[in-house]
Structure 1
Amino acid sequence: MHRPTLGAVAIGRNEGDRLKACLRSLVPLCDRVVYVDSGSRDDSVAFARSLGVEVVELDTTTPFTAARARNAGAEALLAGGELDLVQFVDGDCRVEADWLDAGVAAMQAVARLGIVTGWRGEIQPTATVYNQMCEVDWRRPAGPIVACGGDMMVRVAAFRQVGGFDPTVIAAEDDEFCLRIGKAGWKLERLPVQMTWHDAAMTRFGQWWQRTIRNGHGFAQVGAMHPPHFKREQRRVWVYGLVLPLLFLLGLFTSAWLSVLVLALYGLSFWKTWRGLAGKPMALHQAALLTLAKIPNLLGMLTFHRRRRRGDDMRIIEYK
């Protein structure tokens, strides 16, 4: 059988040594590699070119989004000649060598498989509680899926059929893309194989807060585009991020028991989250942050609704 041809698109901005590890893991194993740079001020562009990687430097006058970068990378990659598959990867991730063969084999075996992904792991999962939260979030069950993160292997025919990523989506753009792939009749699957090693490098509470605001923006924007996707997440944010805090404040002026009940509900949510993380490093800290997360999530959702109402650009929310 014809072995599918494979190219790769890496995207990044000021990723430093993380990008170097990323590109070094791709160049020996792919037919072609393109790096898309979003206004880096380090040596990312020069290093990529030193490896013979084609570089696309995005116009800085247009708002950056990961979706826009991936589209530009795919366009440049395919302009160099036809390919069957494209591995998309974030520039802060190193690709596991065995993954590319596993992904290609899965695509070759199932003609209607449009996207295949694997497991992402953290390089330093216990360095901070924020890294550990990423590690837990990345480990999803293998098998048929509806959506996945930005590290994915995509069939070029499926990518072209849906018109690529939507550059107006600033967060959860990978979910939005996957949903359109599924609606177009393609299958999506996560293999029980290590795919990439991610370096979250989150060391400060403020980074986590901004990232969680961005997640909330994604819940609202992609949820509005593809209902009922993210419906459960949005409902929890409205309840725990808005309704319960308002009831707590109301209780301070009307009945103290109402405020006590609200605190009990938060306590129950914290306890259930902690039980679900039993055995994980820093479980108590993770449970506390996940309980608190509904507040920044709400800020992100409200930011989306405000932008949509005013007709403002959907600009990225940076956390690094």
Structure 2
Amino acid sequence: MNTNSLISVVVIGHNEGARLSRCLQSVRASTYQPIELIYVDSFSSDDSIARAQTIADQIFSAHTRGAAAARNTGLMHAQGHWVMFLDGDTELDPDFLLIALQQLKHQSTLACVWGHRVERAPEQSIYVQVLDLDWRYRPGETEFCGGDALFRRAALSEVNGFNPLLLAGEEPEMCHRLRQNGWRILHLDTPMTRHDLAITQFTQYWQRTSRAGYAYAAVSASSRSFWANEVRHNLRQSAILIALLTLLAAGVLMHAWLALAAVSLLAALALRSSWRARWRSAHLPTLLMYGLHSWFAQIPISVGIYRYYRDQSAQKPASFGNYKEAKK
């Protein structure tokens, strides 16, 4: 097999069920060939491995928790010069690999190329409809990519892959190390994957958002610089929001004008966030909800930051779970 043209597609998953079958089949439907399809399972208790056995070329089991460890396992067994990582709840666009590989081959300083990820069913809940906008990024060079991206194998080897000690935020942290070594990350204006967020309840939304805060703190501590500003920003925004909610409560109990002032300020902040995000969507109701989400999310994000430092102080492992299994 010619490894110069071979793309190794590493799919990772945990209890993805039918989503995993769709993911693996979408890789098989790619217009690019040759492809080596590897599935790495992370302690699934469903029929994920049985599903993968009918489609994937190789199947492995991660020996430790986390997406970083699973991706490193796949990378260790991959044969191609190019490695595409996919989460098991995504579906690959049939033309992405062909388009992305052309960019990597023509630009020798590119370590990674990624495209647009969108939700496959944003109508399933208001949470998915709003969070779908979080996937929107402007094309061009970026600081980092997400879990779906095509990498140059040599660049991955140079930085020893993903940091297995991180249970969240592992892609931005690795991209930070790549950029420190002179590599570039490119976001293409082309479809890449469809994602199934599957959030239908508030408990899932809270857990996923709290996990993001945990990732901010963990990556900031690991890199000693990257995402440090994000941690400070989130804590500052959370303090503003809590102060306004406290003012609102005081106004309800004492003076109506205080409550009116608090509501007006909250509405102004949310509207400003909606206006700044107008390039993400032309749908006004979704934009307004996104503005509210941008502020409310600061509370669970700050909770996640606190949980990281609490776990570090107590020398405990990460304490968050799978938000898709958080339904009550």
Give the TM-score normalised by structure 1. 0.88
Find the partner of 2:227 among 227, 230, 233.
230
Query: Is the 1:248–1:258 Cα contact (8 Å) retained in structure 2?
Result: no
Find the partner of 1:35 among 39, 44, 57.
39
- Deviation (angstroms), 1:32: 1.1
Give the direction of change, closer, same or farther, for the CA distance of 1:30–1:191 in structure 2 (3 Å limit). Answer: same
1:157-196 superposed matches below 5 A: 157-196=154-193
Taking the aligned partners of 1:229 and 1:14, their CA distance within structure 2 comes to 32
Taking the aligned partners of 1:9 and 1:20, their CA distance within structure 2 comes to 14
- Deviation (angstroms), 1:316: 4.4
Give the TM-score normalised by structure 2. 0.86
Taking the aligned partners of 1:157 and 1:277, their CA distance within structure 2 comes to 36
SS of the equivalent of 1:88 reads strand
- Deviation (angstroms), 1:48: 0.9
Q: Deviations over 1:45-94 (max 9, x none)?
A: 011111243111223xx4x11111111111122xxxx4210000000000
- Deviation (angstroms), 1:292: 1.0
Corresponding letter in the other structure for 2:69: R
Query: Is the 2:130–2:289 Cα contact (8 Å) retained in structure 1?
Result: no
Corresponding letter in the other structure for 1:16: G
1:113-192 superposed matches below 5 A: 113-192=110-189
Taking the aligned partners of 1:197 and 1:276, their CA distance within structure 2 comes to 25
- Deviation (angstroms), 1:246: 5.1
Identical aligned pairs, as a percentage? Answer: 32
1:18-97 superposed matches below 5 A: 18-27=19-28, 29-59=33-63, 62=64, 64-77=65-78, 82-97=79-94
Map of 2:290 onto structure 1: 286
Number of residue pairs matched?
Answer: 311
RMSD: 2.5
Give the gaps of 5 or more residues in structure 1.
none
Taking the aligned partners of 1:263 and 1:293, their CA distance within structure 2 comes to 17
Give the direction of change, closer, same or farther, for the CA distance of 1:137–1:67 in structure 2 (3 Å limit). Answer: same
Corresponding letter in the other structure for 1:267: A
Query: Is the 2:4–2:81 Cα contact (8 Å) retained in structure 1?
Result: no
- Deviation (angstroms), 1:35: 0.5
Taking the aligned partners of 2:131 and 2:263, their CA distance within structure 1 comes to 27
Structure 1 runs, 4 residues or longer, greater than 6 Å off: 255-260
Query: Is the 1:249–1:259 Cα contact (8 Å) retained in structure 2?
Result: no
Tell me whether 1:267 sits opposite 2:267 in the alignment.
Answer: yes
Give the gaps of 5 or more residues in structure 2.
none
SS of the equivalent of 1:21 reads helix
SS of the equivalent of 2:306 reads helix
Map of 2:198 onto structure 1: 201
Q: Deviations over 1:16-54 (max 9, x none)?
A: 121111111223544311101112222210111112431
